[in-house]
């Protein structure tokens, strides 16, 4: 039985449903191939397209023949297998990608014998292999960022005489006192005498160099929106844009290789400058960029925007897992916060990606603790009743400080960032902020050190004979 399409059905938005509905053939149990699943409809392809063979042996063995996908003249899959390109700042056609993937699966299920079994097995394992690669690469990038950022942050106060490529914690690991003989301050190295004012100036100078370099790198990713507003692809945390992309929106270049490099280097320099920046949000952006790049290795994800976004959802979980060492938390973040379409298969892939990223980062051991997370506490004594009063006071002060910080941030955005001169020269805003931040941070022993060292020292137990922790 051959189906025909009336000529008045021209309002379909999906090319597959508009152009190829006439090429459907109804399947009956008698006409179905032995052992094949009954799909109701199957595509009718010409013998010439089905008889062609790809010259690439690997493509013939593990993928459907290229001629069945790319033959524009007589192949059914001309608009089914070919990638649907979308203009910048437009939305994808979810229905087109779903139908296209259905055609691909129907064709694979028609393959019989050993080759058919291997092709279908390879198709099923591709997703898990891809997310494992994404998890490993994301963890490797996070390791490089953590190690380099810690080294550059400590470089503002001095360097290790035995190995200049290690931070202060690694350099002074064998020392039992606060003073470390292998760590040299800049005033001792240059002036051969201790000078607090010189150390203060060097600290600010390095902070300015790091922050300005990060802002200049970020400005190289400038992109113009349809409204005419300039948008920097590597700026900010990237999570709002990632949520927009996962909902089906197209932002070209935001998950590209160039943006990935600038984001990683800029994040390292920005955090090392001492500005109030976090690595958690950018890690999600970096992980999604890694996922988008490695999707090109597998045809079914590279040529299908809907399935690509399932991989990007799994990549978000890997970004959170590398930032907090919490694989399950990463899966929940991807499920509840950023994903638009999250089937059960995507959840298992997200879990696999997050676990792979967390275990890889633990193996690399960027903080030299051998643990999955930096925030590991060893309680040697229990809390007492008076401690609760202290906890309440700390919470009260933290709430007031948070509200004050948010109000000042809003005031700065409206009054300072809104100035026309600042809009034309955004690096000037970074310069002013880093000078103010570094000038104030140097005065406090807790804000002068990096966030990693601060957490390590605040959570270290006060044992007898241990005087290196500033909290004891």
* 372 within domain boundaries: no
Q: Within this chain, do residues 132 and 266 fall inside the same structural domain, yes or no? A: yes
* 183 within domain boundaries: yes
* 276 within domain boundaries: yes
Q: Within this chain, do residues 319 and 399 fall inside the same structural domain, yes or no? A: no
Instruction: Say if CB 295 and CB 73 are below 8 A apart.
Output: no
Q: Within this chain, do residues 171 and 247 fall inside the same structural domain, yes or no? A: yes
* 354 within domain boundaries: yes
Give the residue, 345 or 180, on which the prediction is more confident: 345
Once rounded to an integer, what is the mean pLDDT over residues 432-439?
92
Q: Within this chain, do residues 140 and 262 fall inside the same structural domain, yes or no? A: yes
Residue 145: which CATH number? 1.10.3080.10
pLDDT at residue 310 is higher than 60:
yes
Please report the pLDDT score of residue 81 as a whole number.
54
* H helix runs in 247-384, sequence order: 257-272, 280-294, 299-302, 305-324, 327-333, 344-364
pLDDT at residue 40 is higher than 60:
no
Q: Within this chain, do residues 425 and 318 fall inside the same structural domain, yes or no? A: no
Per-residue pLDDT band for 10 (boundaries 50, 70, 90) equals very low
Q: Within this chain, do residues 267 and 326 fall inside the same structural domain, yes or no? A: yes
* 7 within domain boundaries: no
pLDDT at residue 29 is higher than 50:
no
Q: Within this chain, do residues 421 and 311 fall inside the same structural domain, yes or no? A: no
The distance from CA 100 to its chain's CA centroid, rounded to whole angstroms, is: 28
**Residues 139-152 pLDDT 10s:** 999 999 999 999 99
Q: Within this chain, do residues 298 and 432 fall inside the same structural domain, yes or no? A: no
Domain that residue 302 falls in: 124-364
Q: Within this chain, do residues 182 and 277 fall inside the same structural domain, yes or no? A: yes
Q: Within this chain, do residues 432 and 324 fall inside the same structural domain, yes or no? A: no
Number of domains in the chain: 2
Q: Within this chain, do residues 340 and 307 fall inside the same structural domain, yes or no? A: yes
Q: Within this chain, do residues 357 and 453 fall inside the same structural domain, yes or no? A: no
* 168 within domain boundaries: yes
pLDDT at residue 87 is higher than 90:
no
**Residues 404-416 pLDDT 10s:** 989 998 998 888 8
Q: Which of 27-31, 336-340, 353-357 has the lowest mean pLDDT?
A: 27-31
Q: Is the dihedral of CA 150, 152, 156, 161 positive or negative?
A: positive
pLDDT at residue 58 is higher than 50:
no
pLDDT at residue 38 is higher than 80:
no
Max mean pLDDT among 44-48, 69-73, 409-413 falls in 409-413
What lies within 8 Å, CB to CB, of 234 at 6+ separation is 217, 218, 221, 259, 262, 263, 266
* 403 within domain boundaries: yes
Entry pTM: 0.79
């Amino acid at each position: 039985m051959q189906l025909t399409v009336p000529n008045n059905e021209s309002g379909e938005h999906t090319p597959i449903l508009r152009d190829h509905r006439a090429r459907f053939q109804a399947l009956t149990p008698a006409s179905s191939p032995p052992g094949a699943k009954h799909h109701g409809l199957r595509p009718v392809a010409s013998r010439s397209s089905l008889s062609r063979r790809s010259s690439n042996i690997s493509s013939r063995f593990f993928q459907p023949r290229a001629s069945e996908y790319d033959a524009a003249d007589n192949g059914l899959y001309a608009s089914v297998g070919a990638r649907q390109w979308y203009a910048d700042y437009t939305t994808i056609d979810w229905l087109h990608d779903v139908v296209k993937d259905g055609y691909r699966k129907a064709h694979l299920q028609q393959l019989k014998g050993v080759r058919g079994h291997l092709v279908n097995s390879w198709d099923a394992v591709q997703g898990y292999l891809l997310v494992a690669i994404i998890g490993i690469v994301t963890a490797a990038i996070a390791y490089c960022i953590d190690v380099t950022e810690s080294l550059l942050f400590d470089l503002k106060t001095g360097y290790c005489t035995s190995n200049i490529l290690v931070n202060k914690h690694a350099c002074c690991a064998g020392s039992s006192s606060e003073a470390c003989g292998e760590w040299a301050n800049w005033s001792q190295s240059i002036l051969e005498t201790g000078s607090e004012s010189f150390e203060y100036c060097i600290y600010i100078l390095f902070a300015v160099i790091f922050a300005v370099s990060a802002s200049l790198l970020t400005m190289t990713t400038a992109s113009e929106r349809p409204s005419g507003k300039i948008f920097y692809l590597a700026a900010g945390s990237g999570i709002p844009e990632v949520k927009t992309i996962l909902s089906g929106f197209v932002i070209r270049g935001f998950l590209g290789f160039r943006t990935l490099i600038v984001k990683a280097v800029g994040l390292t320099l920005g955090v090392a400058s001492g500005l109030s920046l976090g690595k958690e949000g950018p890690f999600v952006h970096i992980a999604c960029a890694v996922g988008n790049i490695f999707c090109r290795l597998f045809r079914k994800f590279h040529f299908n925007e809907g399935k690509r976004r399932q991989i990007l959802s799994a990549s978000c979980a890997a970004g959170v897992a590398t930032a907090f060492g919490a694989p399950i938390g990463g899966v929940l973040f991807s499920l509840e916060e950023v994903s638009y379409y999250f089937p059960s298969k995507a959840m298992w892939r997200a879990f696999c990606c997050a676990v792979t990223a967390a275990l890889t980062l633990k193996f690399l051991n960027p903080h030299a603790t051998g643990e999955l997370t930096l925030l590991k506490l060893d309680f040697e004594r229990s809390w007492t009743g008076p401690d609760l009063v202290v906890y309440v006071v700390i919470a009260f002060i933290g709430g007031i400080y948070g509200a004050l910080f948010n109000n000042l941030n809003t005031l700065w955005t409206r009054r300072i960032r809104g100035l026309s001169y600042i809009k034309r020269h955004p690096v000037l805003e970074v310069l002013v902020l880093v000078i103010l931040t570094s000038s104030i941070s140097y005065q406090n022993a807790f804000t002068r050190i990096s966030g990693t060292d601060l957490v390590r020292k605040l959570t270290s137990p006060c044992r007898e004979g241990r005087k290196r922790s500033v909290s004891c």
